[in-house]
Each structure stands twice: as structure tokens, then as C-alpha cells.
Structure 1
Amino acid sequence: MHADVTQFNYGMITPVLAYLTACLGGALGLRCVTRSLRRTAGGRRGAWLALGAVCIGTGIWTMHFIAMIGFSVTGATIGYDTPLTFLSLAVAVLVVAIGVLIVGYRGASPLHLGIAGVITGGGVAVMHYLGMSSMHVAGHKSFDAVTVTLSVLIAVVAATAALWAAVNLRALWASIGASAVMGAAVAGMHYVGMAAMNVHLDGPADPLAADSQNLLTFLVPVIAGPVGVLVIACVIVMFDPDLLVGGEDTKVRPSVAVGPDGAAAAGDWPEISPRR
């Protein structure tokens, strides 16, 4: 039996909260990558890139499951598989980290940006469909191939644009604007992906079934952890004054590589520190 589904069981509350969460994760991630490209080297640079990846990946994942709070199947109770849910979180952070490290260390050339965008966007799509697979209902799910393909393309384009913005935008307001666009793209990918799914119940709809699993028993506690990570990252970013003021538009060039004859290697430039 084909079941009626809705993405907006609580009206516009969940879409708006999901969008804002994706924007927060994107904004924090962009600022962390900006910090990594300014006057930091070695382990500190890697640490900022890693924190940026955690922020973006966690923001995307949290957006997904906040949006899922508003998902319901008429006449069926929804449950969630805990291991798959947390596996999807790990995938989100991992693929974003791969993309961020590629552009953070290799630069945003068309080749590197394309590779990083495909890996990250494809991984985000995997995260999304893993999260959907973690949802259990008394029936089976089917997917429209065309809509699924569209959602993956949106994810790849959004990831590529986000990685480009991470290494090219320095000004605070530019990063905020980019994060707003990123949030819209990520949320759009989610709802397009959800539109690809059809639910067919194994039996007649149960009029006494709850619309969704008790939010206090699973989704809200699960989401609370990643939200806490974003709050901690926000505090770290706020207490790093170099990230918010001064020298944001200064382009940092790689350190000089000196050859055996004492001359700088071709294509290398001295590192330029922003003025204070």
C-alpha cells in the first residue's frame, strides 16, 4: 500500500532550523579554513583545516536529521538504526575533511577543486542516503533514479562551490554570504533527495500509529551532541581575534623553498604576514 509522506510535520520550524544549522556549520568551517591559510604552518594549519571539516560535516549531518524530525509517514511509526545514524555522521566529516585537505594543501586549481568537489559532494550524498536507510518503517522504500541523480549533482556542485569559497574568500561578510548560499544548497539537496523516496506499507495503515518516533528518545539526544560540537567550535572561532579582524584579504603565499645554490625555487614566494 502506497503511504502518504510529509516533510513538514511541524510546519516550517524544522526546515528553517535545518537551514540555519547548515549555515552555521558552513560559516564556521569557512572561517577555520581562512585561519589555516593565514600565517599558520605545520600542525596548527592542519588543526584548523580539521576543525573546519568537522564544522562543515557536522553542520550538514545535523541539518539532515533536524529536517528528518519533520518527516512522517501516515499510518506508520518511524524508528532509526543507531549504528547507521552515527556511521552517516562519520562519513559526512570524513568526506568533507578529504576535500578540505586537498584544497587546503594543494590549492584550488580546476583539477584539485574538481576532484575534491566530486569526493566531497558524492560523500555528502552517501551520508544523506545512509541517514535515510537508518530510518525504519513497516514497509519498504523505493527511489526515483532521476531525482536521486539530481540530488547527487546538487551535492557535488554545492561541495565544489563551498571548497572554492573556503580558499578564495577572506572577508568576514563574504564568508557569511557564502555560508548562506551553502546552507540553501545543502538543504535543497536534502529535500530533493527526500522527494525521490516513496514508501509502500506492508499492510494497511494503522490509524493508531504515531506519526514519528518520540523525539525525546532518539533524534533530539542524537542531534544534541553535534550541536554541542558546533557551539564549542563557535567559541574557538570567536576567541581567535585574527580570524575576525585585520589582514583578512592578505594573500598568503607558500614559504620559500631554497635550492642547493641558495636561490629560491621557481614559483615559490616568501610568506607575507598581514599588517597590524
Structure 2
Amino acid sequence: MFIKLGIIYFVFKINKNLELELAMKQIILILISLIFVMAGCSKDEKPAENDKVPELIDVVIKMPETLKANVSVNIQAAVTQGNEKVDDADEVKFEIGKAGQEDTEMIPAKHQGKGVYAIKYTFTEDGKYTVVAHVTARSMHNMPKKEISVGTGGNTAAGKQIQQSQNTGHSHGDEGTQQPQGNDSTEHSHGNESSEHSYGHAHGNTAIDFQAGTSINANEEAVLTASIQNGGQPLTGADVRFEIWQEEHEPHEFLPAQEGENGKYSLNKTFTAQGVYTIKIHLEKGEIHDHLEEKIDVK
């Protein structure tokens, strides 16, 4: 009898020890798994800490020095990002139009390799033209413009190229200079007119006054106007563009304004969605380079 009881006790103790050992092994496995998970998370977080702001894409329009009517020419856009040639652009198109005319042609470009996108184009008559390269690549948009003359009147194909890129600053092609960013020397004033939203900006001898309607509604055409003066006089013959975007949407839109009377430049724009939009007006004429940035609420 005592022997049987001894055997039962011995077996019971062995089972208890086995259960305890198994429980300890499970706890150890759980701790090891947690260590690996934490190590993996810390590795994932390190790149985020070292993230750098990507360099902007740069676009240079290239075309022959001499342009003649009814002769096919090769027009290229060389796209780079830092020292890298961009061969994976989402879209590259050339917009070509004659000065003073609203109708333009939009022509998709073909990738030629080494960051070059090109089209063949024939100007059918003499005159002044604008060539705009619309480039979307790597979640950025750049649309430089080149003003040219075909045939009589002299050729300016190698002249100034105006760069407009997604960043808040802007560069100026062959001039090799970049407009400083920031508002250290800029004063802004906001009008209290009841008839429309008005935003003023004065920088040196240049003043930009931006007006929008009293109420801007989605899917309805709105008129955006920039009244520009230099030295107290209306500034005419300037290149004025509206950069428009919402913070959560990319890329930005760059839209040319139409010049009116007395230094007024306007854009008819239909906003397709409600929300707050940022409007940045880019002004360039000769040595004058300025901009005004404001926000509007589309209902």
C-alpha cells in the first residue's frame, strides 16, 4: 500500500515539474518574440528619422538656334533631379501657341533616353511663339516656358526660359539666379473690402493686389485677378502665373494669366472640390521677380 502511494506521489511530482518546465519555455519564447518585434520596429523607424527632402526636378527646353517656318524641328525637354537623369517621368507634354492667341496645341513627348523627352514640330508661319514643357515626375510638376521667334523678326529660341516648379521658390533658366525664399523683407496687407476678397503685397517698388469673388463655389467658374504696379504705375507686359494647390493634393497647377488693362492679369478657374486652396502669384518681367501667396476657401 505504501509502495503504491509512493509511486503515485512520484508520478504526480514529475508531471508538475514537466508542466512548470513547459510554462517556463513558453514564457521564454514570448520574451524572445517581443525582443525581435521591438528590434524590427526600431529598424523601421531609423529611415524616417534620416528622411531628406527630395531634390526638385529640373527641366530645360532645348531646340535649334535657327527657326524657320514650314521646317520640322526637334524640341526636347531634358529632365533631371540633382545629378540624376529622370527616365521615369509620368507625363511630358509640350504646349505650343502663337503669341496673342488663346488656342494652343498640347503634344505628348516621347522618351529618348538619358532623361530627354522630345517631339518633332513644324511652325507653319513666321511670328512669336511660346513653348511650355509640362513635366510630371516623382510627385512633382514643373512647366518651364520659352519665348521664341520664327522666321523674320529675329530668333530668341536660345533666350530666357522661365522655370516654374513645385517648390515655393522659383528659378530663372539661363539667368542662373534663384529668387530668395521667405518673407523677411516682404509686407502683406489684407483689405477689408466688402465686395470681394482682396490681398495686398508690396515688395520694393512692386505691389501685387490679388482679388477673388465674394464667394467661390466648387464647380463654378471663378475669376482670379492680380493688379500689379511698379513704381506706382501699372505694370504691363509681364509674365504672370497662378500656382494653385491643396495641401493634401499633388502636383501643383501652374496656370498662365491673361493680361488685361492697367496692369491687371486674370485667370478663369473652376475648382472641382471644396476646401482651402493656396494661390501663389508668380510675377516676372526683366529684372523684376516677385510673388504673392494667399489662401482662399472654396465652398
- Shorter-chain TM band: under 0.3
Normalized against structure 2, the TM-score is what? 0.19
Which has the larger Rg?
2
Q: Which one has the bigger strand percentage?
A: 2
Instruction: With a CA cutoff of 8 Å and minimum separation of 6, indicate the structure with the bigger relative contact order.
Output: 1
